[in-house]
Amino acid sequence: MDYELQKAMQRELNERIPPAPKGDPQNELRHVVNSQRQCGKSFDQSVTVALNFIRQRYPHFTPRILPPR
């Protein structure tokens, strides 16, 4: 994957899904979204897959996802 593309994806992830304290499900969400993005999915598709995955483990999890700038 192109270095510039990786940096752009990381920037978008940091802007839209802020990091949380260690052990927070928010960080797992970020990890799954990043993994899906590297597989070629769009940001919205990645978030949908990640939320479905995270909600299996944490049914009452409310993600902090910001709108695009």
Residues 10-56 pLDDT 10s: 999 999 999 999 999 999 999 999 999 999 999 999 999 999 999 99
Q: Got the DSSP string for 44-66?
A: HHHHHHHHHHHHHH-TT-----P
What kind and span of H or E run contains 3? Answer: helix 3-16
Task: Answer whether residue 2 shows pLDDT above 90.
Answer: no
46 and 63 in contact (C-beta within 8 Å)? Answer: no
- Give the pTM: 0.90
Both tokens of 39, joined, read 């597989």
